[in-house]
Homo-oligomer: A and B are copies of this chain.
Amino acid sequence: MKNQMDYGLSWLKFLPDQPSMTAKTPLEAAHAELAQMEGLHVDVQLEPALGDGFSIEKRGDGYLLRGGETGVLYGAYRAMMAHAAGQNVPEGEDAPYYALRMLNCWDNAEGDIERGYSGRSLFFEGGRFAYDPARIRQLARMLASVGVNVICINNVNVHNPAHKLIEEEWLPQLAELAAIFRPFGVRLMLSIDYAHPMRHGVATADPLDPEVQRWWMERADIVYRYVPDLAGFLVKADSEHRPGPFTYGRTHADGANMLARALAPHGGTLVWRCFVYNCMQDWRDTATDRPMAAYKHYAYLDGQFEDNVILQIKNGPFDFQVREPVSPLLLAMPKTHLALEFQLAQEYTGHQIDIYAMPPMWKEHFADMPPSCVQAIAAVSNLGRDDNYTGHPFAAVNLFAYGLTAWNPAAEPDEVIRLWCRLTYGLHGAQEDALHALLMGSRRTYEKYTAPLGLCWMVEPHGHYGPSPMGYEYALWGTYHKANRDAVGIDRTESGTGYTAQYPEALRTRYENLETCPDLLKLFFHRLRYDYVMDDGRTLIQRIYDDHFEGLEEAKEMARVLAALDLPEPDRAVAAERMERQLRNAREWCDVTNTFFYRLSGVKDAKGRTIYD
């Protein structure tokens, strides 16, 4: 097994030693961490009522940190990170905006990770638990340092034998794993198979069947005997061929409530994903519009869920595309507990090969969805067994920023990214400015060279990396753009599929009207002719060309900036190698997209740049 120092520590580099194995509580962990910090003295005082919250005040040469059971550790990290970054230790009170700040790992028991780009699972291999306790402790610490307090360790698509996670055979090991996370205030969550009872002789998974209800009650009792602080269960049901209540003519409220009642006696939460749509759509069917699916399936159920149910809703109505509007479902269920779901794993956003810092995207999201619309937050993990945990060392910025954003949705991307740069690489002045600017602009650059203006889904359909402008066009996924020689896009307004009607008035009006719909989302909501004149006076086709050429040029500029950065090895070499791949990817996207639209439209680039015919 590797020495812990062989693993990348990303933003925790300033804290090279792990807290001793003997730390059993966040308070003990906080003491152990603080003991490592030279030049920073912090007295810690436990005030259980504060929970996750804390306060810091100046006290002589040092600080007094008051905090709840976990708050003391969060406060300690906050103070240490500020100190390490050369900033003032923030004084005053602080507490997280969301009580549940969840990370969803899509790890399979076989050791592979669905849409994982950082190597194999940190938890499993070969159909069983297989992990390095020191490394898990390091992971727990990274999560705690940014306030993440729940980790779901297995894929929402529960493949055999991951269902054993709630069976006696595996529960003792699950308890051992939970014990590693516990001192860092991180609780485990488990993805379950909705039809699990049927593996044990129950004839049905009907949520109204008493035997099913009894099975889950007993199962929860058993699981909580081993892991008393388990955060709960996560369920993907009736989605992409997963079983669910629809099989029995029941609603998702029936299904979720049944499971929630089993968890309630133990204080557990039932998280139910709302990623439900017809993944067997006929492309000829114009009556069905996939972005409308989640709202149709759930909005009418508002108020029908148990208190310990949380509906987890992806940020956009499609599936983690580069540019989507806010999912209307997030704005439509005021009487239900909701969780907003982001995806740190760069499934559609560059596979942790291309640089793609997400905080600017999240800020845009919160501009349209007030944070108070949801009561919890989750993100699909971008972690794996790679030495640096995230494949591309810069991808760690997304985990870091996610934690701080989950704590405070108003956090400024600018400041969060700058803090990560400083902590991770200790850069200063022009060097720090350069890395900061590179990360801040990376999403817009990626957007420019990929699918244009909210059109989505021009990615290679299997791997989800690289261009395939027609890859989804005749497929079963409900993701079509219907580009022809004159126009492109789906009319989702009142005159089209009617999707806009799912939004509250303000957003509906904004998106419905071409004049107010932002250019960057125009092709999400409208079907436009290539000669349509955009807000800035350019035609749609010219705007597509311009964006793609600019995106490629910006990627080249990123490569130049990267080459001049004073990064430590192996990060420098890893980032350089991935940048070569990003440049190839950007060029391919640029040329393929431009050629695709040129062949359709017959319109030449106004600036005479090369478009292949």
Tell me which residues across on chain B come within 8 A of A598, comparing CB atoms: 484
| Beta-carbon nearest neighbor of A488 in chain B | B599
With contacts A284-B612, A462-B462, A483-B599 known, what are 11 further pairs, Cβ within 8 A? A283-B592, A283-B612, A284-B591, A467-B474, A468-B470, A470-B471, A474-B592, A474-B595, A484-B613, A485-B599, A485-B601
| Beta-carbon nearest neighbor of A483 in chain B | B599
Whole-angstrom distance between the Cβ of A487 and the nearest chain B Cβ: 10
A482 and B284 in contact (CB under 8 A), knowing A462-B462, A470-B470, A592-B474? Answer: no
| Total identical chains | 2
Inter-chain contact A602/B485, CB cutoff 8 Å:
yes
Tell me which residues across on chain B come within 8 A of A600, comparing CB atoms: 484-485, 599-600
Interface check A469, CB cutoff 8 A: yes
State the CA gap A444–B599 with chains docked (Å).
30
Q: Which of A284, A598, A600, A601 has the most CB of B within 10 A?
A: A284
State the CA gap A484–B597 with chains docked (Å).
9
State the CA gap A486–B601 with chains docked (Å).
10
Q: Which of B283, B474, B485, B612 contacts A468 (CB 8 A)?
A: B474
| Beta-carbon nearest neighbor of A602 in chain B | B485
| Beta-carbon nearest neighbor of A462 in chain B | B462
State the CA gap A482–B284 with chains docked (Å).
24
Inter-chain contact B482/A485, CB cutoff 8 Å:
no
Q: Which of B283, B471, B484, B613 contacts A599 (CB 8 A)?
A: B484
State the CA gap A483–B483 with chains docked (Å).
14
Tell me which residues across on chain B come within 8 A of A462, comparing CB atoms: 462
Whole-angstrom distance between the Cβ of A340 and the nearest chain B Cβ: 35
**Which A488-504 residues have a C-beta within 8 angstroms of B?**
none
**Which A435-484 residues have a C-beta within 8 angstroms of B?**
462, 467-471, 473-474, 482-484
8 interchain pairs, CB-CB under 8 A: A283-B612, A284-B591, A468-B474, A469-B470, A484-B600, A485-B599, A485-B601, A600-B600
Inter-chain contact A602/B284, CB cutoff 8 Å:
no
Whole-angstrom distance between the Cβ of A405 and the nearest chain B Cβ: 37
